[in-house]
Amino acid sequence: MMNELLVGYARVSTEQQDLTAQRDGLRALGVGDDRIYVDHGLTGTNRDRPGLRLALAACRAGDTLVVTKLDRVARSLPDARDILDELTKRNVKLSLGRLNPRSDRPRRTVVVQRARDGGGVRIRPDPHPHP
Protein backbone atom coordinates (compact mmCIF):
# COMPACT_ATOMS: atom_id res chain seq x y z
CA MET A 1 0.00 0.00 0.00
CA MET A 2 1.32 3.44 -0.94
CA ASN A 3 1.72 6.17 1.64
CA GLU A 4 -0.98 8.79 1.73
CA LEU A 5 0.35 12.19 0.71
CA LEU A 6 -0.54 15.72 1.69
CA VAL A 7 -0.90 18.02 -1.31
CA GLY A 8 -1.10 21.76 -0.62
CA TYR A 9 -2.74 24.54 -2.59
CA ALA A 10 -2.37 28.29 -2.06
CA ARG A 11 -3.82 31.21 -4.01
CA VAL A 12 -3.70 34.98 -3.94
CA SER A 13 -5.91 37.20 -6.08
CA THR A 14 -3.45 39.93 -7.06
CA GLU A 15 0.20 40.12 -8.05
CA GLN A 16 0.79 42.44 -5.07
CA GLN A 17 -0.30 39.86 -2.50
CA ASP A 18 2.17 37.48 -0.90
CA LEU A 19 1.84 33.71 -0.57
CA THR A 20 4.26 33.45 2.38
CA ALA A 21 1.60 33.09 5.11
CA GLN A 22 -0.27 30.40 3.20
CA ARG A 23 2.95 28.51 2.34
CA ASP A 24 4.02 28.69 6.01
CA GLY A 25 0.57 27.46 7.09
CA LEU A 26 0.72 24.53 4.68
CA ARG A 27 4.22 23.60 5.88
CA ALA A 28 3.01 23.76 9.50
CA LEU A 29 0.24 21.31 8.54
CA GLY A 30 2.86 18.88 7.24
CA VAL A 31 2.84 19.62 3.51
CA GLY A 32 6.30 19.40 1.93
CA ASP A 33 7.55 22.28 -0.21
CA ASP A 34 7.62 20.00 -3.25
CA ARG A 35 3.88 19.26 -2.80
CA ILE A 36 2.65 22.89 -2.62
CA TYR A 37 0.96 24.23 -5.74
CA VAL A 38 0.14 27.92 -6.12
CA ASP A 39 -1.80 30.40 -8.21
CA HIS A 40 -0.62 34.00 -8.02
CA GLY A 41 -2.80 36.82 -9.33
CA LEU A 42 -5.88 34.70 -10.09
CA THR A 43 -9.23 35.32 -8.47
CA GLY A 44 -11.12 32.44 -6.96
CA THR A 45 -13.98 33.08 -9.37
CA ASN A 46 -11.70 31.98 -12.21
CA ARG A 47 -11.90 28.17 -12.19
CA ASP A 48 -9.15 27.95 -14.81
CA ARG A 49 -6.33 28.02 -12.27
CA PRO A 50 -3.21 26.14 -13.38
CA GLY A 51 -1.92 25.62 -9.83
CA LEU A 52 -5.24 24.15 -8.69
CA ARG A 53 -5.34 21.91 -11.74
CA LEU A 54 -1.83 20.63 -10.91
CA ALA A 55 -2.70 20.16 -7.22
CA LEU A 56 -5.81 18.16 -8.10
CA ALA A 57 -3.84 16.09 -10.61
CA ALA A 58 -1.19 15.36 -7.95
CA CYS A 59 -3.78 13.87 -5.57
CA ARG A 60 -4.25 10.11 -5.63
CA ALA A 61 -6.86 8.02 -3.86
CA GLY A 62 -6.27 8.28 -0.12
CA ASP A 63 -4.34 11.58 -0.35
CA THR A 64 -5.42 14.83 1.30
CA LEU A 65 -5.67 18.22 -0.42
CA VAL A 66 -4.71 20.84 2.18
CA VAL A 67 -5.68 24.52 1.99
CA THR A 68 -5.36 27.19 4.66
CA LYS A 69 -8.98 28.33 4.16
CA LEU A 70 -11.90 27.18 2.02
CA ASP A 71 -11.95 30.48 0.11
CA ARG A 72 -8.44 29.78 -1.20
CA VAL A 73 -9.75 26.83 -3.22
CA ALA A 74 -13.33 27.95 -3.92
CA ARG A 75 -15.08 31.32 -3.93
CA SER A 76 -18.67 30.14 -4.24
CA LEU A 77 -20.73 27.29 -2.87
CA PRO A 78 -21.33 25.78 -6.32
CA ASP A 79 -17.58 25.87 -7.01
CA ALA A 80 -16.83 24.32 -3.60
CA ARG A 81 -19.44 21.62 -4.21
CA ASP A 82 -17.95 20.80 -7.63
CA ILE A 83 -14.44 20.54 -6.20
CA LEU A 84 -15.61 18.44 -3.24
CA ASP A 85 -17.59 16.17 -5.58
CA GLU A 86 -14.46 15.65 -7.70
CA LEU A 87 -12.34 14.91 -4.64
CA THR A 88 -14.95 12.56 -3.18
CA LYS A 89 -15.21 10.58 -6.43
CA ARG A 90 -11.44 10.16 -6.37
CA ASN A 91 -11.33 9.25 -2.64
CA VAL A 92 -9.28 12.36 -1.83
CA LYS A 93 -9.84 14.16 1.48
CA LEU A 94 -9.94 17.95 1.91
CA SER A 95 -8.29 19.56 4.92
CA LEU A 96 -9.00 23.19 5.81
CA GLY A 97 -6.49 25.36 7.68
CA ARG A 98 -5.63 24.90 11.32
CA LEU A 99 -6.45 21.23 11.02
CA ASN A 100 -4.20 18.34 11.64
CA PRO A 101 -4.95 16.31 8.51
CA ARG A 102 -3.54 13.18 10.15
CA SER A 103 -5.77 13.57 13.20
CA ASP A 104 -8.76 11.32 13.75
CA ARG A 105 -10.72 14.29 15.07
CA PRO A 106 -10.12 17.52 13.12
CA ARG A 107 -11.31 20.76 14.67
CA ARG A 108 -13.50 21.56 11.68
CA THR A 109 -15.29 19.23 9.33
CA VAL A 110 -16.39 19.86 5.77
CA VAL A 111 -19.87 18.57 5.22
CA VAL A 112 -21.38 18.20 1.78
CA GLN A 113 -25.14 18.24 2.15
CA ARG A 114 -27.28 16.74 -0.58
CA ALA A 115 -30.69 18.29 -0.90
CA ARG A 116 -33.30 18.77 -3.60
CA ASP A 117 -31.90 22.23 -4.30
CA GLY A 118 -28.49 20.80 -5.17
CA GLY A 119 -27.02 20.86 -1.71
CA GLY A 120 -24.32 23.04 -0.32
CA VAL A 121 -21.22 23.13 1.79
CA ARG A 122 -20.98 24.17 5.39
CA ILE A 123 -18.25 24.03 7.96
CA ARG A 124 -19.24 22.90 11.40
CA PRO A 125 -17.24 22.67 14.61
CA ASP A 126 -16.09 19.28 15.78
CA PRO A 127 -18.41 18.25 18.64
CA HIS A 128 -15.33 17.03 20.53
CA PRO A 129 -12.70 19.76 20.01
CA HIS A 130 -9.13 19.22 21.09
CA PRO A 131 -8.02 21.22 24.15
Report, as residue numbers or ranges, the catalytic residues: 13
d(CA 126, CA 89): 24
Concatenating the DSSP letter of every residue in 58-75 gives H--TT-EEEESSHHHH-S
Concatenating the DSSP letter of every residue in 16-85 gives TS--HHHHHHHHHTT--GGGEEEEES--TT----HHHHHHHHH--TT-EEEESSHHHH-SSHHHHHHHHH
DSSP 92: -
d(CA 124, CA 57): 28
